[in-house]
Amino acid sequence: MECYIGRMRVIGIAGWSGAGKTTLLTKLIPRLVERGILVSTIKHAHHGFDVDQKGKDSHTHRMAGATEVLVSSANRWALVHELRGSAEPALDALLPKLAPVDLVIVEGFKRASLPKLEIYRESVGKPLLHPEDPNIVAIASDRPLPSARVPVLAIDDVDAILETMLARAAPVAMPNERAGSG
């Protein structure tokens, strides 16, 4: 898989629940793909989740104590890794697990030090995140925000949001690059 941009880059999407992060991503991803840009996403879940179905062999293997279960078919494969009490991995430990792509969009991991686009809707009734997060590089909002310290884009201007995300995404430092630097 060859990267179109030339080097894997990452940007985050931040915002309160109900602000429209997933809705915006479902509009952005097809436009990126249309441009020939390979994109992957990482979504942080704040609760337990399961990609297995009870009664399936893979679920049974995991419940029996397997650390990892990889399920493969002609259409897709999935790897489930049980932490079994170990600490949740940091974002920089998860990024190298992805196949090389042009752009990784991260939803969640709000404390991660990576450039982020804040999604803001006044109707959610929550405060802006950008005053407390120096990693927010722009805001997609449903209303003007004259006091914002970063550029504000209309939440329905998908093309402007896409261009901003591509321009502000940071290169992903892979483990072998980190070891060779310094």
Give the global pTM: 0.85
Q: Look at residue 6 in the predicted model and tell me its pLDDT.
A: 58
Q: Which of 114, 66, 75, 77 is nearest to 99 (CA)?
A: 77
Contact 138, 152 (CB under 8 A): yes
Task: For the chain, list the domains and their CATH numbers.
Answer: 9-47+87-180 (3.40.50.300)
- Higher confidence at residue 88 or residue 144? 144
pLDDT at residue 179 is higher than 60: no
Place of tokens 């009734």: 125
Q: Three-state secondary structure along the chain?
A: CCCCCCCCEEEEEECCCCCCHHHHHHHHHHHHHHCCCCEEEEECCCCCCCCCCCCCHHHHHHHCCCCEEEEECCCCEEEEECCCCCCCCCHHHHHHHCCCCCEEEEECCCCCCCCEEEEECHHHCCCCCCCCCCCEEEEEECCCCCCCCCCEEECCCHHHHHHHHHHHCEECCCHHHHHHCC
Contact 51, 147 (CB under 8 A): no
- Higher confidence at residue 159 or residue 82? 159
Q: What is the band of 175 on the pLDDT scale with cuts at 50, 70, 90? A: low
Burial of 12 (0-12, 13-18, 19+ CB in 10 A): buried
Q: Look at residue 182 in the predicted model and tell me its pLDDT.
A: 42
